[in-house]
Amino acid sequence: MKTPLIGATILLSACQQVPPSRHVETLYINNQWVDCVGVSPMQCMQVRTDEQQPWSLFYQHIEGFHFEPGYYYQLEVAKEPLTDVPADASSMRYQLIKIVNQVK
């Protein structure tokens, strides 16, 4: 009699989602806004995760970070996947941990 109960418990626990953990990432930020188009025309930062990579457009906001044009930044950020977001919203959340470097 214990076997069906154990099997059901294992099956139910396998279906439950474990909340994703936050991931710490380094972002390099270029020194100026650039025109981009998300849902509508807007201004984006240019970012990369490695100094050897090309710049890519960053359509999101980094919580706790205020971008000041004219400065290159190296940031340490927490990156966290989000669930149940609208179709036109980002599925990632970025939070500033610290500004590692800021150069004019």
- Specify if 81 maps to a domain: yes
- Specify if 7 maps to a domain: no
pLDDT in tens, 44-55: 999 999 999 999
Spatial distance between the Cα atoms of 72 and 100, rounded to a whole number of angstroms = 11
Question: Number of folded domains in the chain?
Answer: 1
Rounded to two decimals, the pTM is 0.74
Residue of 25 and 84 predicted with greater confidence: 25
Domain span at residue 38? 19-103
- Specify if 12 maps to a domain: no
- Specify if 14 maps to a domain: no
Q: What is the pLDDT of residue 88?
A: 64
44 Cα distance to chain centroid: 15
8 Cα distance to chain centroid: 36
